[in-house]
Structure 1
């Protein structure tokens, strides 16, 4: 771990210095639609944000090391302080300091993510000292897997870069709305997906041995069904409650009604991305557990193509909605493709059973979403105030949850029992049986 951390630090320091020095050229390539003043601002923000590179990489490495020692809490909650800092930067510091507050918030939030890992690192007995042991077998294994993983990571970054490049030519505020909209999605991902996936990876790795492949198949299959059933109503809630959520989080200062509407549009069309991220993350980790790093890379490339094509067609035509749809489509396509390949190559998923479960959960979420939307539109107070936003969120959620459960009961599927099994105490009792 220390060797990987040292190598990463050296590479990132060099890369960060280069980006800092060439920020103007980087912005010219990535955001060709910016005018001169906006490009200067973007370059200034880039020089601030690049400081966070070391924090982000250090956090990911330390979180993975802690997970290998059976410690998941810190890695599971790391997204929470980051998103809290970012939202605070936008809601409180933004009206007072300006757009630079978001860049500083990104750096501070990234540092907060790193600090969250330190107690777990200390508890696991790991020492943070520089080391270069390139002949260590574990280091060589990491280096062997790195190229494929770098391609997958690069693909995700290409998606973001194309989104920003197309968005930069769509008008003022488009990139900000997309960034803040996806920040809401990322918060949901951090709370509901990252924690589960992080805890599952060691279990996948343990079950990935050839003699335990049957256990891996059962674990992956059930995890996917439970995650889909859990996230379907979340997707519905993000669509229905996008506007009051954005109003509550960001609707103050210079963030006027037009900005709320634009960002809410991004949140609503990004909503399905939560499902795509979760499914693809689970499937990718199952592949890695059996030593297959190539398939997740292929899936990432296909998803990138979908996103780029969508950006250049839907994004150019429909602006914020089109760009958000392109991202969601790419993640959903990647998730479906990963599951299909997992079923075909590893027989780790009953694709038909998963499709039927997703259809039942989707139907229940659709009915619940329509019911919640009707209550929000007709029975709850409208307006731009925080109080109205809280009432709409609480009222919509109070309707959506029970209706979702009732429809699942009527459909007589196993999803409700699976979700109940996630409740504290239920899982342990089920395990004792």
Structure 2
């Protein structure tokens, strides 16, 4: 297995651990406080620093990596460390200023995020937010360290970054039940600091040395600010799409917003596990190759990244389409989540899954443009896709009977349209980069996916008739059907000689022969 593949697999494993702990955090809060004013206040308070800084932090990391690679390639390790400290110190100062402003105007900020809060719930939300907003500096430092470690080819530690954070929050939830709810935000604040402190020793091991250095006139810092702006707009575009979807969903039948939300969470799990892991590993590598002007290897990396995402996402997408109802039923249908809610969520999941390949490749192609320090093209294409999404939302909801399905389908169409634009733009930007190889890989994956779908659906229906209903029986039916489908897909792509699979098989044969 190649170094890049090992890093991607390691990051996927780290992400899975982090997501399990994140789910445990939600369970702990639900168990301790249920659906109460305390839990509402805590969730809103946690969301405020995230909304304020997550987009900025993501943009910082995106702009930092290619410029670090450029400085390191042209001026050496000492200059790149100086650049890192310059960015680091300026981010800390900005975050401290934001924290001070946030602490002063906390009641007004909370009112923006939770208009309906009043009485004790409002007081708790203000207190929780005032404490948590002090952690903005730690949040900023964490993003810089994460980008630094990624450029140094350490991906597992950034992937595990949420682990100490979630452990501290779970601990504070348990303690707060016995002592006081006012302890809740302090666990989160300590958790935010641990995200940074957890990464720092590994960054120092890779060569990072802190120095109190600031140079606002640095040319690379100015270029970084120019790169950040379009990325921020791109993030805002995605947020606008989500807001529009939910606004229109609020005009449909009751439960439409929840159905969209649950279906989105399932899609985001796939994105977080596979796509983000691959793009996080590939991005620093592409940035280095771009700074070294290694066009041949750069193009090969694009082909491998795109084909790998296609290979992983197409079977998941097809599987989600044909098994949407049993998947949603198994995961969510209990308590107040009834058969109607299952059907609505399954419909949304089906139509979201049509565009899953679009969401995945959009992230990868965006990173390709960022690696060559072009943040404007993804932003422009993102704005076009947003306009298309909003237009289709209105058309599908107002002039067809698709309703909820129409909202999800519009998102899928706009995502597929975006990657088409990005492929065209990339060819114009860098010339031919292996489009035929990518198209062939996609066709082979689609053929294998269709064969898998037929076998999986036949297996599921046969087993469901034989075994019957009930949670355990349905879980067994679903797991066995998915496993058989995965085996069929694997055999199909081997028979069709998909390049990325052949590379893995050759590596396995080499190791077996050595042994």
TM range (shorter): 0.7 to 0.9
Could you tell me the TM-score, scaled by structure 2's length?
A: 0.66
Measure, in 2, the Cα distance between the counterparts of 1:129 and 1:165. Answer: 48
Instruction: Report the counterpart of residue 7 of structure 2 in structure 1.
Output: none
Give 1:326 shift: 1.6
* 2:383 equivalent to 1:301: yes
Contact 1:164/1:175 (8 A) holds in 2: yes
What SS does structure 1 have at the residue aligned with 2:293? helix
Contact 2:393/2:406 (8 A) holds in 1: yes
Instruction: Report the counterpart of residue 199 of structure 1 in structure 2.
Output: 281
- Listed one character per residue, the Cα deviations across residues 271-310 of structure 1 (whole Å, up to 9, x for unaligned) are 2443212211221111122221111111211221221112
Contact 1:420/1:426 (8 A) holds in 2: no
Instruction: Report the counterpart of residue 477 of structure 2 in structure 1.
Output: 392
Instruction: Report the counterpart of residue 249 of structure 1 in structure 2.
Output: 331
Give 1:324 shift: 1.4
Note the 1:97-176 alignment, pairs <5 A.
118-125=197-204, 133-176=215-258
Contact 1:218/1:348 (8 A) holds in 2: no
Structure 2 spans left out of the alignment, 5+ residues = 1-86, 171-183
Measure, in 1, the Cα distance between the counterparts of 2:187 and 2:506. Answer: 33
Change beyond 3 A, Cα 1:124–1:422: farther
Give 1:336 shift: 2.1
What SS does structure 2 have at the residue aligned with 1:349? coil
Measure, in 2, the Cα distance between the counterparts of 1:302 and 1:403. Answer: 38
- Listed one character per residue, the Cα deviations across residues 324-367 of structure 1 (whole Å, up to 9, x for unaligned) are 11222222221222122112321253223322221221121122
Indicate which of 340, 363, 367 corresponds to 1:258: 340
* 2:371 equivalent to 1:289: yes
Structure 1 spans left out of the alignment, 5+ residues = 29-36, 89-104
Change beyond 3 A, Cα 1:370–1:127: farther
Contact 1:72/1:199 (8 A) holds in 2: yes
* Number of aligned residues: 401
Give 1:165 shift: 0.9
Indicate which of 232, 237, 261 corresponds to 2:314: 232
Contact 2:92/2:141 (8 A) holds in 1: no
Give 1:135 shift: 3.4
Instruction: Report the counterpart of residue 3 of structure 2 in structure 1.
Output: none
Give 1:61 shift: 4.2
Change beyond 3 A, Cα 1:24–1:224: same
Q: For the aligned residues, what is the CA RMSD? A: 4.3
What SS does structure 1 have at the residue aligned with 2:154? coil
What SS does structure 2 have at the residue aligned with 1:318? coil
Contact 1:238/1:267 (8 A) holds in 2: yes
Change beyond 3 A, Cα 1:186–1:200: same
Instruction: Report the counterpart of residue 91 of structure 2 in structure 1.
Output: 5
Instruction: Report the counterpart of residue 102 of structure 1 in structure 2.
Output: none
Instruction: Report the counterpart of residue 33 of structure 2 in structure 1.
Output: none
Change beyond 3 A, Cα 1:141–1:188: same
Note the 1:345-364 alignment, pairs <5 A.
345-347=429-431, 349-364=433-448
Change beyond 3 A, Cα 1:323–1:154: same
Note the 1:27-38 alignment, pairs <5 A.
none
Moved more, 192-201 or 369-378: 369-378
Give 1:44 shift: 11
Measure, in 2, the Cα distance between the counterparts of 1:388 and 1:279. Answer: 36
